[in-house]
Amino acid sequence: MTDLSQLNTANLLDYGMVGLYFAIIIWVGIYAAGKNKSTEDFFKGGGKVPWLVAGLSNWVSGFSAFMFVAAAGFTYNYGVGAILIFTSAFWAYLLGYWFFAARWRRARIATPLEFLTRRFSPSTTYYYSVTAVIPQIVGIGQGLYILCIFVATALGFADRTFEIGGIAISGFQLSIVVTGLVMMVYTVIGGLWAAVLSDAVQSVIIITMTVLIFPVSFSYLGEGHGILAGLERLINEAPAGYFRLSGDLASPLFLVSYFLNVIIGYNVSWALVQRYHSVPDERDARKMAMLCAVLSLVGPLLWILPVMASRVIFPDMQALWPSFAVPAEASFVSLALLLLPHGLIGFVISAILSATLGQANDAFNWLTATLTKDIYVPLQKRLANRIPSDRHQLMAARSMMFVVGVLGIIVALLIPKAGGAFAFALEYYSLTAAFSMPVVLGMVYTRTPWWSGIASCSAAIAVALALMMAGAWNEHAFVRNMISESVVATAVFFGSALFFRKEDVRNEHVLALERDLERPILAAAEKFDPSGFHVYRLLGRVCLVLGGVLTVCLAVPSGPVSPSWINLVMGVFLLLLGGIILNRSRERPATVASQSAEGE
């Protein structure tokens, strides 16, 4: 049986890889700053973000340290059921491709929560700002907290104490502050362009890491007889019932609730809405949704199957990590520490950093857009009887990003006092469906009065809180909250339709939205903007930098289980990928220009 002595630990080279990642992300933020000429550029990329980059950005923002830690623990324990759960976003994005992508693009909004103003009322936007925005700040803090538990432990300084300016701070707290500051710097400087560009860079790291871990894991499991032998060994040696649905996964009610949650979350989340509005037109929005669907089906399999293999490689995770509260959550990290050489270990740490920062950064960006466009500007108009200039709004947005970032860091530092991340999360995340239901219903059906969003959301929250306080069905709290909130919100929403009057002047904005939802947004060919290809060139350069560094890591000594030639394989892969991206991004603008000339 594999023991702790066989696992590699992060060394100076791995620290250097993490430092390189931070440097690249900050460089991306500085690069993105040059693209921001107005608040439209800052918040939605001027509608010029290439669909491929927007799709990669959106897909990678669905990852976090949770996927490689908590979700890995779930996979280790429940086996094949994880495939059903963690590929479910595929169906949600397909629905987005067929319905939501085009409708979100046609809504013609500058910020995500502006939809609430157009569909319901300004009061609804203020209501959501108070009830939904604050939990997002908490969510940013929680994401940093979970991430830094992993990072500080993997890098070996979680329990160390540092003296900074006469103040004693633990290694874990220092990791929260440093990681949070990096996120703030590149987002405050670069806005949405920084978000999508950094997400695209992060997608390269995550895809490379997950593509690598699959063959390496099953080759090791096959004991020299190849990947297929490893798959055969997993099938033969996995625990009984590992390839059947068990626990909550065997409950149809749980599966219905989970899929409902996924369908809602992956079609009306504010970060996704912002991505749909960052691309040139609705055709690109649909392409983006389809790309996310494919990646959401294939991508998770590349890390789910290796984690299932870890059940055979590490049959007793408790013995391997006796100090962990949930040892199974270390299954993916254990695979990396066992099978990857130094250099790639830092690469994996960077990948998990990438995943969580991508998710937090997207919430960070749309949240600031809402605070600026939907709160600050209307208040200035009401109190000072003027609309701030575009430059003034941009300065306000950057200031608010700084404030939101500081608040997120503070929340992350305070979470341990509230019982830890998971206990903290249970206090409010089980209620989020109440906020999403009116949005998805309002997109599907428009003939309800201005107050229907507030009424349906408030009713759902009230019923869910009442059931929680009464202790009803506590052993199935997730199902209870999802079902009760969905049923109540739907009943109140459609019940309010009885009060809708088309001739009411207060419904004119709803009728205008209806007309917009019927009008396609299709960019004219002559308005093609080749500036988007700068994005691909940046990605190509990042691939070359990472590939070059990993290739050099071939010279680093390693053991027989984690040979250094793996660094060379991945380095060459990234060099080839970077070369292809740079080559294609140089050729295409000229091709388009010549086609335009021929058409004339």
6-15, 71-80, 148-157: range with highest mean pLDDT? 71-80
102 or 3, greater pLDDT: 102
Q: What span, in angstroms and rounded, lies between the C-alpha atoms of 411 and 186?
A: 20
Q: What span, in angstroms and rounded, lies between the C-alpha atoms of 282 and 285?
A: 5
324 or 460, greater pLDDT: 460
* Structure token digits, residue 296: 């959401």
Last residue of a domain, one of 368, 385, 418: 418
Asked if residue 591 has pLDDT above 50, the reply is no
What mean pLDDT do residues 327-331 have? 82
Question: What confidence score (pLDDT) does residue 409 get?
Answer: 87
- The four Cα atoms 162, 165, 169, 174 give a dihedral, to 10 degrees, of -80
Asked if residue 253 has pLDDT above 70, the reply is yes
Whether residue 100 sits in one domain with residue 86: yes
Each residue's pLDDT tens digit, 16-64: 988 888 788 777 767 766 655 555 555 444 556 778 877 877 787 666 6
Whether residue 553 sits in one domain with residue 461: no
Q: Assess contact for 292 and 203: CB atoms under 8 A.
A: no
Please check whether residue 288 lies inside any domain of the structure.
Answer: yes
Give the confidence band of 487 by pLDDT, cuts at 50, 70, 90.
very high
279-283, 367-371, 444-448: range with highest mean pLDDT? 444-448
Instruction: Count CB atoms within 10 A of the CB of residue 556.
Output: 14
Please check whether residue 92 lies inside any domain of the structure.
Answer: yes
355 or 499, greater pLDDT: 499
Each residue's pLDDT tens digit, 130-175: 776 777 787 778 778 777 776 776 666 666 788 877 788 888 788 8
Please check whether residue 536 lies inside any domain of the structure.
Answer: yes
Asked if residue 282 has pLDDT above 80, the reply is yes
Whether residue 517 sits in one domain with residue 387: no
Q: Which residues, at least 6 apart from 148, have a Cβ–Cβ distance to it below 8 Å?
A: 172, 175, 176, 179, 412
What mean pLDDT do residues 328-353 have? 84
Please check whether residue 357 lies inside any domain of the structure.
Answer: yes
Whether residue 214 sits in one domain with residue 95: yes
Whether residue 579 sits in one domain with residue 488: no
Domain of residue 155, CATH code? 1.20.1730.10
476 or 94, greater pLDDT: 94
Question: What confidence score (pLDDT) does residue 1 get?
Answer: 55
Please check whether residue 12 lies inside any domain of the structure.
Answer: yes
Please check whether residue 423 lies inside any domain of the structure.
Answer: no
Last residue of a domain, one of 418, 442, 466: 418
Whether residue 168 sits in one domain with residue 66: yes
Whether residue 289 sits in one domain with residue 148: yes
What mean pLDDT do residues 352-357 have? 70
Asked if residue 594 has pLDDT above 60, the reply is no
Question: What confidence score (pLDDT) does residue 595 get?
Answer: 42
Give the confidence band of 189 by pLDDT, cuts at 50, 70, 90.
low
Q: pTM here? A: 0.78
Count of structural domains, the chain: 3
Whether residue 76 sits in one domain with residue 192: yes
Whether residue 510 sits in one domain with residue 599: no
Asked if residue 454 has pLDDT above 60, the reply is yes
Q: Which residues, at least 6 apart from 395, have a Cβ–Cβ distance to it below 8 Å?
A: none
Asked if residue 597 has pLDDT above 50, the reply is no
What mean pLDDT do residues 286-312 have? 91
Structural domain containing residue 164: 4-418
Give the confidence band of 110 by pLDDT, cuts at 50, 70, 90.
confident
Last residue of a domain, one of 496, 521, 546: 521
Please check whether residue 39 lies inside any domain of the structure.
Answer: yes
What mean pLDDT do residues 226-240 have? 93
Whether residue 74 sits in one domain with residue 200: yes
Report residue 4: phi and psi, to 5°: -65, -30
Whether residue 501 sits in one domain with residue 553: no
What mean pLDDT do residues 426-451 have? 84
What mean pLDDT do residues 409-419 have? 75
Instruction: Count CB atoms within 10 A of the CB of residue 132.
Output: 20
Whether residue 106 sits in one domain with residue 179: yes
Question: What confidence score (pLDDT) does residue 132 get?
Answer: 66
Each residue's pLDDT tens digit, 520-569: 988 654 444 545 567 778 888 888 998 999 999 888 877 778 888 889 98
Query: Chain-wide mean pLDDT for the chain?
Result: 81
